[in-house]
Amino acid sequence: MAFSGVVGLFRFRPVHPVGADGRMALSDHLRELRARLLKSALFLVVAFCIALYFYDHLLELVSTPYRDAQAKLGGDVDSQLVVNNITAGLLLQLKLCGVVAIVAASPFWLYQIWAFIVPGLHPGERKWSRVFAGIAGPIFIGGVALGYYVLPKGIAVLINFTPDNVVNLVDFATYFSFITRMLLVFGIAMEIPLFVVLLNLAGIISGRSIGRARPWIVLGTMIFAAVATPSTDPFSMLMLAIPMLILFAVSEVIARIIDRSRGRGADRTDQWGDDELSTL
């Protein structure tokens, strides 16, 4: 009995009955949620154990941007990565492997979230959710890779503010938190234009309205890039802003194509909104 329960836990098909209308009883919903949470947790534990095995390689990967930043400074600034107490090394190892496990297992636990939501979606919505799931991952990874490429330049600029005859001791845990936030900012920022397309698919905004807001989008993107990147150099800001603007331009083109295919011109949409407001 116990073995059959474990086998049933790892099925990738919905375990509980779904009606012809896509509805499921509340108790079945809760059991389905529990099963998918357990699957995700077990997969995260496996990924964490694998990350522990490759810890030395992961530590080298995380330390590379800092060493590249030191190389850019040419030894002009005395800066070192340090740990501050007895347990810092252990906590750093657990934190690093935990973040890597979450990122590496993201396709699996994101699939579990998607599979839990899918029974309540209409066929058309399921199709677009698959498209979103297939595009969102590569775009996020591309944003993270871009952030990793920019990191040495930004770190070098920040370290260069160290006064002369002062040693800059950088706590490794603080450094790791810093680069994690930076990579997440780049990854999430690349997803914003994709959400614009989803809003268009939902009929909330039109391609014409995106075009009218283009100057504000450019201004807002530049401000966001300036705030999100920690260094004061324009290189890091432009490396975030330019890909975002390109993706916004692509999202506008896609939104206009969708509007045209649906026969939903911006003027018609805006007129519909005016008529509706006049009846209130």
Cα–Cα distance measured from residue 141 to residue 136, given in angstroms and rounded to the nearest whole number: 9
Residues with Cβ within 8 Å of 212's Cβ and at least 6 positions away in sequence, in order, are none
Q: Report percent pLDDT > 70 for the chain.
A: 78
Residues with Cβ within 8 Å of 97's Cβ and at least 6 positions away in sequence, in order, are 48, 51, 52, 55, 58
pTM of the model: 0.70
Cα–Cα distance measured from residue 234 to residue 41, given in angstroms and rounded to the nearest whole number: 41
Of the pLDDT bands very low, low, confident and very high (cuts 50, 70, 90), residue 47 is: very high
Mean pLDDT of 115-141: 72
Q: Report percent pLDDT > 90 for the chain.
A: 11
Is 70 exceeded by the pLDDT of residue 58? yes
Q: Residue count of the chain, please give it.
A: 280
Is 60 exceeded by the pLDDT of residue 15? no
Residues with Cβ within 8 Å of 105's Cβ and at least 6 positions away in sequence, in order, are 40, 43, 44, 47
Summarize pLDDT for 221-247 with one digit per residue, the tens: 888 888 877 666 677 788 888 888 888
Residue 80, strand partner residues:
169
Of the pLDDT bands very low, low, confident and very high (cuts 50, 70, 90), residue 64 is: very high
